[in-house]
């Protein structure tokens, strides 16, 4: 009999860590009753799809931190067509995730049609939304006519939406940007209207042009302009770095919901904090002890879900940000290999932090 212990289940990890992390012990499902607009208005804080980031462990942390729904990483419709196991790993939720929003990218309407059929058949009731990426600015994506390149081809984009809607068992949404290139005429309002006409149930809009990548400032004004152009819900995104930003976007723009991306780095509580701000309640403080407990929980979830633990190196940088000697601890994290290495790192930071006042670390 082998002496190697199996990792604890995700349920056990979340439940046993809840008190120390300040996160919910279970993942609550996305509401099924009512229209998509009604559900988004009731629970308007969503975790964005992020390539190389939003794996199952990351989604669970966000959901337990108050996100109403979390998205998969971008999933290639061509990858699903060829049946790649690695592609399906991005799609299928992990216990105890009750549901997931799957974001697809590609350029061929028929491949989208096939992909939606496959995803609906495979996930069934665990599928909450299908989202079509028309926003990714990365050249290796756009040079194939995918992602934000579709902003230059509204007819093809509309054909993709119609193909997905025809086969989907859940609402189909799209994610777009303000325009393809800085200096171009803003296309987002007219483009969003065309996607609505094709059957899109909601439009997520990022306030940058594709050529900006993630530089400069996002123009939140485009959220209002898109909201005025369509009757479906608009999901705002871009420069939502804090809970205050998320609450302000909901209060000051025409967004029905907010999609948070980089603001989640090392801050899974951002959703619950934003909800408290919107409700006029006092937000919780997340001191060094709680942040370290969350990092340990996240690392254990990576192990339990079979993810490569190299991802924990990025997590270390995010969770340790702003702590005393953070650079030193990040350097040590780069040498970690197994889960015990990371947990030993956490213990070392805890011991070192006892000589410092426990204060909220700015995120």
Q: Where are the domains of the chain?
A: 26-278, 288-353
User: Which residue reads 């509580």 in tokens?
Assistant: 269
Give me the pLDDT at residue 4, please.
55
- Give the model's confidence band at 359: pLDDT under 50 very low, under 70 low, under 90 confident, else very high: very low
**Enclosing H/E stretch for 105:** strand 100-105
Residue range 222-228: mean pLDDT, rounded: 98
Instruction: Count other Cβ atoms within 10 Å, centred on residue 251.
Output: 10
Contact 97, 60 (CB under 8 A): yes
Is the per-residue pLDDT at 357 higher than 70?
A: no
Between CA 124 and CA 44 the distance in angstroms is 23
User: Which residue reads 């909601």 in tokens?
Assistant: 202
Is the per-residue pLDDT at 358 higher than 50?
A: no
* Cis bond before residue 230 (omega within 30° of 0): no
Is the per-residue pLDDT at 69 higher than 70?
A: yes
Between CA 172 and CA 287 the distance in angstroms is 39
Output the average pLDDT for the chain: 94
Give me the pLDDT at residue 2, please.
45
Give me the pLDDT at residue 354, please.
76
Is the per-residue pLDDT at 282 higher than 80?
A: yes
- Give the model's confidence band at 183: pLDDT under 50 very low, under 70 low, under 90 confident, else very high: confident
Digit-coded pLDDT (tens) for 260-274: 999 999 999 999 999
- Within 8 A by CB and 6+ apart from 164, the residues are 104, 112, 113, 116, 130, 132, 172, 199
Domain 26-278 has CATH 3.20.20.70: yes
Give me the pLDDT at residue 182, please.
86
The closest alpha carbon to 177, from 165, 168, 189, belongs to 189
Instruction: Count other Cβ atoms within 10 Å, centred on residue 34.
Output: 11
- Within 8 A by CB and 6+ apart from 168, the residues are 116, 120, 130
Instruction: Count other Cβ atoms within 10 Å, centred on residue 123.
Output: 18
Give me the pLDDT at residue 184, please.
85
Catalytic residue among 136, 164, 297, 336: 136
Give me the pLDDT at residue 360, please.
47
Angle at the Cα of 28 (from 22 to 34), degrees rounded to 5?
135
Contact 315, 303 (CB under 8 A): no
Please report, for residues 70, 125, 278, the alpha-carbon distance to residue 247 in angstroms, rounded to integers and kept in the order given: 18, 30, 6
Is the per-residue pLDDT at 134 higher than 80?
A: yes
| Ramachandran quadrant class, 96 (left: phi over 0; alpha: psi -120 to 50; beta: rest) | alpha
Give me the pLDDT at residue 5, please.
57
- Give the model's confidence band at 284: pLDDT under 50 very low, under 70 low, under 90 confident, else very high: confident
Burial 166-176 (b: 16+ CB within 10 A, else e): ebbebbbbbbb
The closest alpha carbon to 59, from 328, 353, 311, belongs to 311
Between CA 261 and CA 255 the distance in angstroms is 16
Contact 154, 161 (CB under 8 A): no
Is the per-residue pLDDT at 108 higher than 60?
A: yes
Residue range 334-358: mean pLDDT, rounded: 87
Residue range 171-191: mean pLDDT, rounded: 95
Which stretches of the chain are DSSP H helices?
A: 10-21, 36-42, 56-64, 77-81, 85-91, 109-123, 139-142, 154-167, 188-198, 221-229, 243-252, 270-278, 288-304, 311-319, 326-333, 339-353
The answer to whether 336 is a known catalytic residue is: no
Give me the pLDDT at residue 6, please.
67
Give me the pLDDT at residue 25, please.
97
The closest alpha carbon to 132, from 96, 107, 154, 153, belongs to 107
């Amino acid at each position: 009999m082998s002496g190697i212990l199996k990792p604890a289940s995700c349920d056990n990890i979340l439940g046993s860590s809840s008190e120390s992390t300040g996160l919910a012990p279970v993942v609550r499902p996305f509401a099924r009753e009512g229209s998509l607009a009604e559900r988004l208005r009731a629970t308007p804080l969503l975790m964005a799809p992020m390539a190389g980031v939003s794996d199952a462990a990351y989604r669970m942390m966000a959901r337990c931190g108050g996100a109403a729904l979390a998205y998969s990483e971008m999933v290639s419709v061509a990858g699903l067509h060829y049946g790649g196991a690695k592609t399906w790993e991005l799609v299928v939720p992990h216990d105890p995730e009750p549901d997931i929003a799957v974001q697809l990218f590609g350029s061929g309407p028929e491949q989208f049609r096939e992909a939606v059929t496959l995803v609906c058949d495979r996930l069934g009731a665990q599928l909450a939304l299908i989202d079509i990426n028309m926003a990714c600015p990365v050249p290796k994506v756009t040079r194939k006519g995918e992602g934000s390149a579709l902003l230059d081809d509204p007819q093809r984009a509309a054909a993709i939406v119609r193909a997905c809607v025809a086969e989907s068992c859940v609402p189909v949404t799209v994610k777009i940007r303000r325009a393809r290139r800085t200096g171009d005429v803003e296309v987002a309002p007219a483009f969003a209207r065309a996607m609505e006409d094709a059957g899109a149930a909601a439009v997520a809009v990022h306030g940058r042009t594709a050529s900006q990548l993630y530089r400069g400032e996002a123009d939140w004004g485009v959220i209002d302009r898109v909201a005025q152009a369509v009757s479906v819900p608009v999901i705002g995104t871009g420069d939502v770095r804090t809970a205050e930003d998320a609450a302000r976007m909901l209060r000051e723009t025409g967004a029905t919901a907010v999609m948070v991306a980089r603001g989640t780095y090392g801050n899974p509580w951002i959703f619950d904090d934003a909800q408290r701000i919107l409700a006029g309640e006092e937000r919780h403080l997340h001191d060094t002890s709680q942040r370290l407990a969350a990092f340990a929980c996240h690392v254990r979830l990576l192990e339990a879900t079979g993810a490569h633990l190299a991802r924990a190196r990025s997590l270390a940088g995010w969770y340790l940000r702003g702590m005393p000697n953070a650079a030193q601890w990040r350097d040590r994290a780069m040498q970690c290999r197994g889960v015990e290495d990371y947990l030993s790192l956490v213990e070392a930071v805890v011991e070192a932090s006892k000589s410092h006042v426990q204060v909220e670390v700015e995120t």
